[in-house]
Structure formats: C-alpha cells, structure tokens
Structure 1
C-alpha cells in the first residue's frame, strides 16, 4: 500500500512530465494529398532569398542537407527528384511573467500536512526573447509546384553554439515529418 507521500511524489512527477511535454513545440506541416512521395530519392537546395542574417541562413541550409541525408536522401544538383527551399524570420516575444503556484503534502510520523506556495521570477536583463521561425518547402521540379511545407520555431536569447544547436534540432524535427505518411 502506497503512503500518501509516495502517491504525492508520483502525482507530482507525472504532472511535471506532462508540463515539460506540453512546453515543447510541435512542427506543423501540410502537403499535396495527391502527390506520390515514394518516388523521391534525390534533392537539391534552391538558393535562399537574400536576407540580413547570413549566419542563420547558412546554419539552416546545412541543417537541411544533414537531416535529409540522414533520412536516406541524396544531394544531387542536376535532375534532382525534389527541390528544397526555406525561409526564416526572427521576432521579439515578451518573456513569461514567471509566476508559479506550488502545492505540497507530506507526512511526519503519524502526522500529515499540506502547503501551498507561490513564487514570482524577477526578470534579469531583457524582458523579451527572440523567436526564430523556420519554414521549409519541398517543390516538385517538373511542375515547380509546392508539394510539402513544414515549419517550427524556437526561442533564443543569444547566438553562437546554443542557437546553432537549436537550429539543427528544429530543422531535424520539421523534416522528420517528411515525407508524409500517406498510408
């Protein structure tokens, strides 16, 4: 028979896991339901539109190539089965207030108790975060029509290695949904 403390700990652990899962973003995608994706084996990347952030553009382009090769596609500049294009934008988003409420219970000997507490985070530094949204388009080269589109976003405070890692993770999450499962 579980004690009240064991049940409370189990409940808190399950709630924490649920909250962590809810906080992660899920990529979104759409595709041509009449297209036969099973024929796609090779890809080429289209030149990106000019932008004012060549570091991010280069990271995204490399992450796309890496993710597609890891999925078994081959890069081929001439006569590829599909073209890949991408775009991205960075926006400022207000940071969360950091207000939280906690609930706890426990036992000590033959006594038990419960408590409620609150906390407020005081933002240090900027009160906004940067959100980068990445959109990846798959285009049929014979018709020049969009056949698949995926997008996702991530939050960052600074550039460098952490942003590069998050770019790779986000691109991989987007392309994990390509090709769509049409069975």
Structure 2
C-alpha cells in the first residue's frame, strides 16, 4: 500500500488547525431579546466594588472605556444611555502537562515516509497557572435591568505588562459583541 503524500500532508496540517481552534477561548454573551439597542449612544460606568486586586480593577475599567469609545459610544460621568458594571475573579488551574505529538513526512529520492513522535514537557517551578474571568454587564439605567452580559477568560502566570495587555485584549473581545447583531 502506497501512502499518498498529499493526503497525509493535508491531514498533518488540518489536525493541528482543528485542535488550535477547539482550544481557543471565545467570549460568551446573552442579552434581552426585546431591548432596542439602536438608541444607545452614551455610557456611564458604575464605581467598582472594593476588591483585593485594584490593579486589575483599574485595568478593566480603563479597557472598557477605551473599547466602548472606539466603538463610537460617548463616555459620561453620569446619566449615560446605558450603565456598565463589571466583575472579575482569579482562579488557580493546573498547568498543562506539555504532552505533544508530532507528525512529519518526507521524501528522499523516489522514496517517501511518515513519522510520529512524542515529547513531554515537565513544568519547572509552580505546577499551577492562574485564569482570570471577566464579566461585563450592560444595564438600562431607567429600569435598572440587565440588558446584556458578556464574559471571557485568559490564562496568565505573572502580572505586569503581559497581564495588562491580555486584560485589554479580553475586554475588547467581549465588547466586540456589543451591541448584539440581530439576525434578520
């Protein structure tokens, strides 16, 4: 039986791509199906509640303001068309084992072949990472009712610049789904 290099190569490219897409996080949201989001032009933010991580709280609050402003909403200290609140939590999660499977093909002259290899990465230091979940709520200030909620999460090992950038990116991904796009 002769292995077709093209079919094998296609499989070798397709399998990692499917695994990458399956492992990536995507924001989740829910909203009031009867609410008219088209009238929203300005927003106000609720004061964050006291928490044990003011650095993350300030980063999230600033990222919300930046994302909504880039989307064309005007920030107001009070009396916006909608009010934004947020919450976040940090949890420990076990680090990945680092077990990987490698696949390869090659040819030499008129011969071809395929190989499979494995490797195991042993984590050095802490065996847990942290995962931060961010929830953003959009509230109608006239009725004080929740009209939209979005959540997403990201992994991090340490704080600092990398965590700050990941916070901005996560908030932007969440708010990219607001206002909801209704299917016609």
- Shared fold, TM over 0.5: yes
Q: What TM-score results when the alignment is normalised by the length of structure 2?
A: 0.92
Contact 1:4/1:106 (CA < 8 Å) preserved in 2? no
Aligned partner of 1:118 in structure 2 is 118
Q: Which residue of 2 aligns with 1:136?
A: 136
- Does the CA-based 8 Å contact 1:130-1:156 persist in structure 2? yes
CA contact (8 A) 1:4 1:107 kept: no
Q: Which residue of 1 aligns with 2:167?
A: 167
Relative to the length of structure 1, the TM-score reads 0.93
Alignment of 1:91-130 (within 5 A): 91-130=91-130
2:16 corresponds to: 16
Separation in 2, partners of 1:131, 1:9: 35
Q: Which runs of 4+ in 1 moved over 6 A?
A: none
CA–CA distance in structure 1, aligned partners of residues 151 and 108 of structure 2 = 51
The number of aligned residues is 181
RMSD over aligned CA atoms reads 1.6
Instruction: Measure how far apart 1:62 and its partner are.
Output: 0.2
Q: Is the 2:83–2:141 Cα contact (8 Å) retained in structure 1?
A: yes
Question: What aligned pairs does 1:81-100 form with structure 2 within 5 A after superposition?
Answer: 81-100=81-100
- Determine if contact 1:44/1:82 at 8 Å carries over to the other structure: yes
Equivalent positions of 1:139-154 (< 5 A) are 139-154=139-154
CA distance in 2, matches of 1:167, 1:141: 26
Question: Who is 1:32 aligned against?
Answer: 32
Counterpart in 2 of 1:75?
75
- Indicate the larger mover: 3-12 or 129-138: 3-12
Say if 2:63 is the partner of 1:63.
Answer: yes
